[in-house]
């Protein structure tokens, strides 16, 4: 039985090392200018170092270029893709066809992962992008387990599924918070809304806090709970899902280190010793609950249609 890749999103070079030691197989990193909702900023120097460290340890590095690009950025793409090819990254995540076309011209050997975060909801669409050159489809977070299994059974490309962490609920290309602060006459530098600012939208009816932040790509509102599917991996493992992703945005490296180690153990047992995996399920969930931030509950997302935001 094939063992799924354990894919994680580190916040810095030190996290690449620590999460590698914890059991990660691959990393998604990149620059805010080209990638959406990254756990950390990796400039070109950091990208080069991260690739060297990962490859020395037998791990892979995928670079996020999944932003939607306006005309003023299109001319930058070829130079960036050429750089990524020169440092031998293992793949590029894209959502905009401009990236696919640029890769075809500049680095045709580069592996492409189609990732729009919300429109990969059926295997026809996954295979369409496969015929265009993508080798992997990153499935939407809003589809259930049956749909995931059906897509994998019919897909001609690899399939990636997020199994842990927060998900994006809303994005606007506009700086909504910054514009509001400006309207209020407040200093935008003082009211900087980076990821570490700890800003939330509060829903009193559901007693839910939605993390919100801005970056170069606009305003992002995230889910109030974290997906945790560590005790429900069997169907996807049996279906042959290629990659399980743990999302590390707004999480500390210490938290990620523990979660990655638990998923590493769970995946290995699910593939190699199913009975022991079944026995350890409750323990896995309990250990993650013990380290969860107080305002971040765990749920199963849309895997079983339980989550309604």
Domain ranges for the chain: 5-166+226-294, 171-220
Q: What integer pLDDT is reported at residue 200 of this predicted model?
A: 66
Q: What integer pLDDT is reported at residue 294 of this predicted model?
A: 86
Q: What integer pLDDT is reported at residue 171 of this predicted model?
A: 73
CA–CA gap between residue 69 and residue 118 (Å, rounded): 17
Q: What integer pLDDT is reported at residue 57 of this predicted model?
A: 98
Instruction: Provide the token pair at 97.
Output: 């066809």
Query: What number of other Cβ atoms are within 10 A of residue 298's Cβ?
Result: 16
Per-block mean pLDDT, blocks of 10 residues, the chain (309 long): 95 98 98 94 98 98 95 96 98 97 97 89 95 96 94 97 91 64 53 58 70 82 91 97 96 97 98 97 98 91 71
Q: What integer pLDDT is reported at residue 178 of this predicted model?
A: 60
Q: What integer pLDDT is reported at residue 149 of this predicted model?
A: 97
**Residue 65 burial (10 A CB sphere; 0-12, 13-18, 19+):** buried
CA–CA gap between residue 46 and residue 132 (Å, rounded): 30
CA–CA gap between residue 47 and residue 61 (Å, rounded): 9
Classified by CATH at the fold level, domain 5-166+226-294 comes out as TIM Barrel (3.20.20)
């Amino acid at each position: 039985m094939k063992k799924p890749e354990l894919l994680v999103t580190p916040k810095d070079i030190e996290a690449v090392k620590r999460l590698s030691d914890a059991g990660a197989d691959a990393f998604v990193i990149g620059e805010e200018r080209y990638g959406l909702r990254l756990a950390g900023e990796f400039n070109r120097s950091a990208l080069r170092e991260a690739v060297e460290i990962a490859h020395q340890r037998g791990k892979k590095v995928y670079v996020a270029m999944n932003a939607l690009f306006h005309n003023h950025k299109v001319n930058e793409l070829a130079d960036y893709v050429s750089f990524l090819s020169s440092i031998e990254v293992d793949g590029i995540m894209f959502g905009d066809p401009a990236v696919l076309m640029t890769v075809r011209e500049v680095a045709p050997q580069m592996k492409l992962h189609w990732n729009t975060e919300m429109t990969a909801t059926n295997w026809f669409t996954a295979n369409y992008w496969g015929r265009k050159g993508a080798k992997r489809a990153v499935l939407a977070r809003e589809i259930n387990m049956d749909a995931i299994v059906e897509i994998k059974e019919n897909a001609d490309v690899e399939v990636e599924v997020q199994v842990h962490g927060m998900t994006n609920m809303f994005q606007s290309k506009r700086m909504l918070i910054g514009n509001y602060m400006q309207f209020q006459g407040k200093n935008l530098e003082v009211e900087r809304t980076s990821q570490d600012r700890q800003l939330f939208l509060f829903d009193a009816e559901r007693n839910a806090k939605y993390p919100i932040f801005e970056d170069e790509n606009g305003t992002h509102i995230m889910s109030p709970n974290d997906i945790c599917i560590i005790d429900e991996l069997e169907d996807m493992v049996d279906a042959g899902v290629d990659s399980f992703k743990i999302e590390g945005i707004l999480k500390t490296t210490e938290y990620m280190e523990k979660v990655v180690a638990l998923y590493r153990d769970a995946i290995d047992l699910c593939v190699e010793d199913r009975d022991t995996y079944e026995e350890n399920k409750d323990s896995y969930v309990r250990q993650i609950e013990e380290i969860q931030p107080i305002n971040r509950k765990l749920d199963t997302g849309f895997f079983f249609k339980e989550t309604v935001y």
